[in-house]
Structure 1
Amino acid sequence: MSIEPLRKRKISGEFYTRRPLIIEYIEMSLTWSFEELMDSAAIRDRRHSQYVPSEVLMFYLRQTKSDNADGRFIRLYDILRDRVEAACPRASRQVGDKIHEDARLAEIRDATVDHVTEMMFTDRQNYDEQLDIYEVVFDKAVRSAHITKLRKVNRRENASEDVEDAVTGEVRAVVEAALERYKKGDLTAEDDLDYRIHVRRAINALPTDEREVIDLMLADIPIETNKDRERSMTELLGCVEKTVRNRRDRAFAKIRQALALEVDNGK
């Protein structure tokens, strides 16, 4: 079994590549029998010395189409489906002796799981480049998919946020105006060109951690919230408020610069 390169390209034009640690693990596991692989794949504790990274399991899942081993596919699929669900924010919490599940969060979780697992089945019929990222950074890819589903659900809600910014007023005003127009669905063709294409290009060029903050802002997710059962960026991204604000500020400055370049270049 060979380790074929991934086919999806980044915005820069470069191909996605598996991390060296993942390649090393795949090369080592190629000497195992399938049952040995499954025994290790059943280990859920990431600290265990024999824990198999999800990126490795995704590689093996995609290989099953070459030998028509349907039984192998289903066994790997079951484990990966559980890991997709585990990578999503929890929809249930225990209060006293009772466990309460947030139906809205459960819906988002289920939609995320369905989206990723659908790609697994699609990939068996025809190579799906969108699945490549799950061989690179599995948990982050799941989180990105979850945020996309969350944005759709939260688009209807009007969360508000009062902030004091480290970014200059001019930068913040320009970027927020562009983002606000980007969010509108009734733009003219000219607006669509000037804002949706250019702003999305600027957002996509951001580092992942900064891009996630902007995407959550577009979904009207607050950095912090005191509202019961309302999700916040700090919770979804797993970092403190200051970190989120720093990422947002860096993103604003880069978007402002990118928009200025678009104008200067006459694009």
Structure 2
Amino acid sequence: MPEPLKQRKRDGTSYERPPEIEAWLKKLETMEVAERLRQFATQSRKSIGHVPSEALIHFLRRAWTDGKQGDFEKIFRILMKRIEQSLCLVVSDSCMAGARGIREEIMDQFAEQIAKDCKGCTGLLDFYEIRFGKAFAAFRTSALRRIGPSAVDTVPLGTDEEDGLEISAEVEAAAADFLGGDPEKLDDPAFRLELTAAIDRLPDDQKQVIGLRLQGFQIDSKDKDIMTIARILQCDERTVRNRHDRACKALKAILQEEMHNDCRTILKTQ
């Protein structure tokens, strides 16, 4: 039986893995080690037998606890390859200046999280066994805030959930300003492409503000330990807000123009 998780919720009850993850763990426990590792190496989510990352985290931690260094290193390499692939989608070279270095920094910081968990920070990776995509998206956002990228060309409008790209809460909140209070539009992949193209058309100073805003950065904060857009761009709050407001106004106009053009194209084809 898989060992219960150690972290507890605010009400004192223990965290529990979803039933589908528990089922995966029980199935994988019955396999020979070599077969289990072979199945772990299946990278594509569309492939039959693709093992969810929650299970990889579980067996990675178990290999360390059991002193199986060879198994630990193999699972670690497979997991980090998955993380690298997801980061290439979310922190891509076409979306962010210095993306490769940022990806490497995030991966290094995540490797440190694993090391801390192995060295006795009990329960540090528990939530990764429950919802890996959500846990890593939060970790990535926190890491980006610490790194504080100062140059953003465009931004990815999704997170790397196990079932595909999912719009993050930060993106929905930030995008509400120029979506007319209708963040559900972001569910449409075609609209996300239009929005990304619209952001590309903004002046550089406005594009930086919108890019950082969509990564979850605050415009300003009284807390000096929080990395904000004003601090990243080294300008005052009013300047950032003015750029943000001009960018939102421009995006609304661009998106409305695109919508009208699409309507005219449809009418011409009928």
TM range (shorter): 0.5 to 0.7
> Deviation of residue 236 (structure 1)?
6.0
SS at match of 2:113: helix
Indicate if the aligned counterparts of 2:174 and 2:214 stay in contact, CA closer than 8 A: no
Indicate if the aligned counterparts of 2:174 and 2:213 stay in contact, CA closer than 8 A: no
Say how many residue pairs are matched.
176
Equivalent residue letter for 1:141: A
SS at match of 2:30: coil
> Aligned equivalents of 1:21 and 1:235: distance in 2?
32
> Aligned ranges for residues 1-267 of structure 1 at < 5 Å?
2-88=1-87, 89-93=90-94, 102-154=96-148, 210=169, 225-226=199-200, 227=202, 230=208, 232=211
> Aligned equivalents of 2:108 and 2:51: distance in 1?
23
SS at match of 1:109: helix
Q: Report the CA distance shift for 1:11/1:151 in structure 2 as closer, same or farther (over 3 A).
A: farther
Deviations 1:85-107 (A, max 9, x none): 222214224xxxxxxx9553333
> Aligned equivalents of 2:171 and 2:124: distance in 1?
18
Equivalent residue letter for 1:84: I
> Deviation of residue 235 (structure 1)?
7.1
> Aligned equivalents of 1:133 and 1:119: distance in 2?
13
> Deviation of residue 155 (structure 1)?
8.1
Deviations 1:50-108 (A, max 9, x none): 11111101100000123211000000000111112222214224xxxxxxx95533333
> Deviation of residue 138 (structure 1)?
1.2
Q: Report the CA distance shift for 1:21/1:215 in structure 2 as closer, same or farther (over 3 A).
A: farther
Indicate if the aligned counterparts of 1:119 and 1:128 stay in contact, CA closer than 8 A: no
> Deviation of residue 19 (structure 1)?
1.2
Equivalent residue letter for 1:132: D
> Aligned equivalents of 1:8 and 1:138: distance in 2?
15
Q: Report the CA distance shift for 1:3/1:127 in structure 2 as closer, same or farther (over 3 A).
A: farther
Same amino acid, percent of matched pairs: 25
> Aligned equivalents of 2:15 and 2:70: distance in 1?
29
> Aligned equivalents of 2:24 and 2:56: distance in 1?
10
Indicate if the aligned counterparts of 1:10 and 1:16 stay in contact, CA closer than 8 A: yes
Q: TM-score, normalised by structure 1?
A: 0.55
Q: Report the CA distance shift for 1:76/1:114 in structure 2 as closer, same or farther (over 3 A).
A: same
Partner of 2:179: none
SS at match of 1:129: coil
> Aligned equivalents of 2:25 and 2:86: distance in 1?
22
> Deviation of residue 153 (structure 1)?
3.7
Unmatched 5+ stretches in structure 1: 94-100, 158-207, 218-222, 238-267
Q: TM-score, normalised by structure 2?
A: 0.55
> Aligned equivalents of 1:216 and 1:112: distance in 2?
25
Equivalent residue letter for 1:126: G
Indicate if the aligned counterparts of 1:151 and 1:216 stay in contact, CA closer than 8 A: no
Equivalent residue letter for 2:145: R
Q: Report the CA distance shift for 1:20/1:121 in structure 2 as closer, same or farther (over 3 A).
A: same
